[in-house]
Structure 1
Amino acid sequence: MNSMKTNIILITHQKGGVGKSTLTFNLALNLADNAKVAIIDFDAQGSLMQLQSTRTTMDILESPADLDSISSLGYDFIFIDTPPYLSSSLPQLISVADLIVVPTKAGILDLMAINSTILMIEERRRLENTLIVLSMVKPNTTLTLDVLIELNKLNVKVANTHISDLVSYTRSILCAGLGKDQKAKNQIDDLTREILSELLQL
């Protein structure tokens, strides 16, 4: 990872309800104290854009007309939050991203839905730049292990860190952070380190 280069992290999944915006927000916030960080909100609902006036440590931007210009915006890290079914722009975003993070819940329907996203990434020859993250994981369930076994068949890296289904994490956007929940903070810290490690290897 070159400190003079903008690192573009795309958070995407063609299924809704897997925690893309919440993950984007927390990862960006975790780096914002030590780097120049921005989020680009491609969601038509503008969920993260509504926080623009409340964030002082990072910028939240609207989607630019020229996607190729993203790397020249002058940030150390740019996180791109995408809605489901962003079919027209997603292939190009996959191409410009340094790292593609695919959050998914540990559920059967979510596992089935991830194939369309992985196929699109594979078509752009970007599987080596992809990291699957299990999010909203419920504790003490064998389903998580079953899902991990199936995910490993996709030949895509799966993050060692799983994001648990914690109330503080779910509410973190409204509360402007994870508050005093040390377990949630540790998970985001660990996942941030994994993402930085992936960027270093690219």
Structure 2
Amino acid sequence: MAILVVAHEKGGVGKTTLAFNLASFFDGFLPTKIIDLDSNRMFTTLNSFRGYCNLKSFNVVDPTNISEEEFYSILSEYVGANDKLLIVDSGGYDSTDSSRIMGIADFILIPAGNKMVEILALQKYEAVLDRIRSAKKEAGFPDEMPCYVVFNRVHPNTKNYEETDLGRFLLESSHYKLLSSVIKDRSSFNNTLVEGGYTVLEKGSFDAKKEICDLGEEISEILYEKLNGGNDE
């Protein structure tokens, strides 16, 4: 199922938590590998906890432990693949590795909450996307940047998401598309991680499980259409 990059301009938005839980969702029915590009290697740390709790560890690659040749060989193996998935927990956006991966990604997932600081970060991030798009175009590749934003860590009572500040910004943006799935601010997401690297699908509340499954299914549908002759417009 190709390359899925979880990205954001700023830290602390729940990027790794989301990537960790999506890895659990996809790994249930599809060979899934993860590249941990975040500088703090939090995905790798959480994954190590799973062994202490007799849980199946995810197939995580630490790029600092492999050669550059091996790193790009992994990427080429997953571009446009239908039968397996590579999830990238992305780090800094000015790094060569992050920019290159985002340039070939089939799906870029951006978690964002309805906070002005995150809206400003998304605005700033547009310049990064434009640079990557220009580089792709100059190299003779389609300049599509499949960036999808999911409402993340939003208050459980929030309704009418498209009418929030973030929703209005996204509807007017030419850089992002808004997913219908929503991840709410639930204690279950944090509690499962600190209890030993569990995911909400393994030890979370019903609502948290449903939100991750809804998001995973929405991503799957978009990727299926894209990789089988459809489009994601």
Compute the TM-score of the two structures, normalised by the length of structure 2: 0.76
Q: Counterparts of 1:195 and 1:119 in 2: how far apart (Å)?
A: 25
* Aligned twin of 1:183: 207
Q: How much has 1:89 moved relative to structure 2?
A: 2.4
Q: Counterparts of 2:165 and 2:46 in 1: how far apart (Å)?
A: 37
**Partner of residue 155 from structure 2, selected from 129, 138, 145:** 138
* Aligned twin of 1:158: 178
Q: How much has 1:102 moved relative to structure 2?
A: 1.0
Quick check: 2:92–2:98 contact (8 Å CA) kept in 1? no
Question: 2:102 aligned with 1:94, yes or no?
Answer: yes
Question: 2:88 aligned with 1:80, yes or no?
Answer: yes
* Aligned twin of 1:121: 129
Q: How much has 1:52 moved relative to structure 2?
A: 3.8
Count the aligned residue pairs: 196
Quick check: 1:15–1:85 contact (8 Å CA) kept in 2? no
Greater mean alpha carbon deviation, residues 44-53 or residues 73-82: 73-82
Please state which structure has a larger fraction of its residues in helix. 2
What percent of counterpart residues are identical? 26
Equivalent residue runs for 1:11-50 within 5 Å: 11-50=6-45
Taking only aligned residues, the RMSD between alpha carbons, in angstroms, comes to 2.3
* Aligned twin of 2:231: none
Greater mean alpha carbon deviation, residues 183-192 or residues 79-88: 79-88
Larger C-alpha radius of gyration, 1 or 2? 2
Q: How much has 1:57 moved relative to structure 2?
A: 5.6
Runs of at least 5 residues in structure 1 that lack an aligned partner in the other structure:
1-5
Q: How much has 1:182 moved relative to structure 2?
A: 0.6
* Aligned twin of 2:113: 105
Q: How much has 1:141 moved relative to structure 2?
A: 4.4
How far does the alpha carbon of each residue in 1:40-59 deviate from its partner, in whole angstroms, 9 at most, with x for none?
A: 10112111112344252631
Q: Tell me: CA distance 1:172–1:86, structure 2 relative to 1, closer, same or farther (3 Å).
A: farther
* 1:9 match: secondary structure: strand
